[in-house]
Structure 1
Amino acid sequence: MARPDLNLLVTLDILLAEGSVARAAKRLRLSPSAMSRALARLRETLGDPLLVRAGRGLVPTPRALALSAEVSHLVQAAERVLRPATLDLKQLVRTFTLRTSEGFAENFGPDLIARVGKEAPGVKLRFVQKPDKDSGLMLDGAVDLETGVVGATTPPELITQALFRDRYIGAVRKGHALSRGKVTSALYASGRHILVSRRGLYKGPIDDALRQLGLEREIVTTVGGFSTALALARASDLIASVPERHTGKLRAGMHSFPLPVAIPEVTISMLWHPRLDADPAHRWLRGIVRDVCAGPRVRRVRT
């Protein structure tokens, strides 16, 4: 069975509303003859004359009257479906799942939650830990947005946008020997260190840079996240080396200093799946994340 021409619904809706072939043709920007042919097709399709002559005008048949309200409703519904999506933040009810490295939620989360609550009270943010670089949860739709460093293992189909650049610094407790005076590479290497590695490694880029200077540091312990490293350093004489902006609030009350070795800065980006790219609510969320991560700019540890 051939599928009906759904364009005829629009034609029928206007014909029934106008009760005139000429006026309907004008609204549809068709010639009167083209409109007459469309009416003929409708009559054939529905098996009813729809509009019949009465004096100088046309009047609807009982079938046309019965169809009028339903056809109008269908056309309006179709127009809503085909209209670009609009966003009413005050009425939006949704939960967004953000997968972030340790420290992101602690440092940027409070401002994100406050901004979301002010603009869209019905929206909730759900932060989940990012123990590795596997983006499978985002590909499966379980995660709406992810933050981190884009690398060779990042799925090519994901969309990425840079948020900020970050550099590594040293952090020690107040009163630590390294909190007094300039920290040289030799002085830094002579201390006892905490290594942050999600994969449980025993060396990192800092050790490679020290090796080029003929130095080697003592790594006392390896932990999986920045907050753990800073908690240990806060309560001991250990040295934590962490990204500056990523741990701004986590380092409150501690002494921070620039690393005395050259370590490349890292770019923190947000990542999302293309299926969410045009979603107005997701676009709004991305804008808030950009704004919160962009400023106000933190004062950098002086070199």
Structure 2
Amino acid sequence: MNLRRHDLNLLVILEAVLREGSISAAARRLNLTQPAVSQGLGRARVMFGDPLMVRSGRGLRPTRRGAELRAELGVLLAHVGTLIEGPDFDPARAQRTFTIATSDLGELIVLPTALGRLATAAPACRFDIRPPRHDFGDDIPDLLLMGAAPPEGSWLARDLFEDRFVMLAAKTHPALRGTLTAEGFAALPQALVSPRGDGAWGPVDAALAASGLRRHVGLTLTRFTSLPAILAESGLVAAVPALYAALPAVSRVCAVRPLPVEVPPFTMRLVWHRTRDAEPAQKWLRDGIVSAVTDATGISS
């Protein structure tokens, strides 16, 4: 094949459209106009002899060939980036996008300090934060922030810090005062944050179950962001990570007390796919987050 016959810049545009599933989102990511991205997609369709993306509702979905290319192009462009960067990664000169998947707990606790440093060191790079998913398929992020066990398969992990659960409630809640037994805690109407929306059984539930107890969940949420306002107005309580409870936006309206049941601590981890382990840019990203968290918490991973 004569590569000089093809405009390889179209691969960058195609990868962005396939990953984002939207012309407008791809244009924002690439800092191009929507007509330029649309035109690039049209030329890529000619180059591959396939529609690649077809209209589905308000967005676009890949054809079978498009889905195959989405996985292949991500790996290919990452390798090209490594070839250009050489054995070392220079964040001051780099121009690339990093994708990080996390719940809003990771956004609230880890990312503010870490991304401030990373963005300063790599001003021309973009950091895309995405919600976690049950199955990433071919659309594997560069990094995951997880408070659960890493997924099975070709994944690697690095511990960031341990945290414990505490009870969070409005400052005027009567359960913050006096004696609180495990039975009393289980009977309190509670809000449960379940990022996947499945009301998953967690370590607090397991600890209560060991004593033959089950907590009374009156509300489930998928995000921590709105929890303080809800607790302040509803009379509900919640078991939450202590580092989250200590955030100024939370401690302004809520207060904590220890849980009356022994719950093992959980570990927040960085998780990444084995195929990204040796890339200099990925190592810089991971090391930058670890360094920022270590400085902020005083805990060495």
Same-fold status (TM-score > 0.5): yes
Residues 275-299 of structure 1 show CA distances to partners (whole Å, capped at 9, x for unaligned) of 3222222111101111222343289
Amino acid at match of 2:157: T
Report what 1:62 is aligned to.
Answer: none
Return the match for 2:219 from 221, 227, 233.
221
Report what 2:263 is aligned to.
Answer: 263
Amino acid at match of 1:134: D
Report what 2:124 is aligned to.
Answer: 122
Contact 2:193 2:220 in 1 (8 A): yes
Contact 1:194 1:221 in 2 (8 A): yes
Contact 1:195 1:203 in 2 (8 A): no
Distance of aligned partners of 1:121 and 1:227 in 2 relative to their CA distance in 1, 3 Å threshold: same
Q: Once structures 1 and 2 are overlaid, which stretch shifts more, 234-243 or 207-216?
A: 207-216
Normalising to structure 2: TM-score of the pair? 0.62
Residues 19-60 of structure 1 show CA distances to partners (whole Å, capped at 9, x for unaligned) of xxxxxxxxxxxxxxxxxxxxxxxxxxxxxxxxxxxxxxxxxx
Q: Once structures 1 and 2 are overlaid, which stretch shifts more, 85-94 or 225-234?
A: 225-234
Indicate yes or no: 2:146 matched with 1:158: no
Indicate yes or no: 2:185 matched with 1:184: no
Indicate yes or no: 2:251 matched with 1:252: yes
Partners of 2:193 and 2:127 lie apart in 1 by 27
Report what 2:141 is aligned to.
Answer: 143
Contact 2:276 2:282 in 1 (8 A): yes
Contact 1:200 1:223 in 2 (8 A): no
| Unpaired segments ≥5 residues, structure 2 | 1-82
Return the match for 1:107 from 106, 109, 115.
109
SS at 1:103's partner residue?
helix
Normalising to structure 1: TM-score of the pair? 0.62
Residues 244-279 of structure 1 show CA distances to partners (whole Å, capped at 9, x for unaligned) of 235542523120122111222222211112232222
Amino acid at match of 1:99: A
Return the match for 1:234 from 226, 232, 235.
232
Q: Quote the offset at 1:117 in angstroms.
A: 2.4
Q: Aligned pair count?
A: 215
Contact 1:230 1:251 in 2 (8 A): yes
Partners of 2:190 and 2:148 lie apart in 1 by 27
Aligned sequence identity (%): 29
Contact 1:112 1:289 in 2 (8 A): yes
Residues 161-207 of structure 1 show CA distances to partners (whole Å, capped at 9, x for unaligned) of 11111222111111111233454324323321112333433754434
| Unpaired segments ≥5 residues, structure 1 | 1-80
Indicate yes or no: 2:90 matched with 1:88: yes
Report what 1:243 is aligned to.
Answer: 241
The two structures, once aligned, show a CA RMSD in angstroms of: 2.9
SS at 2:250's partner residue?
coil
Q: Quote the offset at 1:237 in angstroms.
A: 0.9
Partners of 2:238 and 2:127 lie apart in 1 by 30
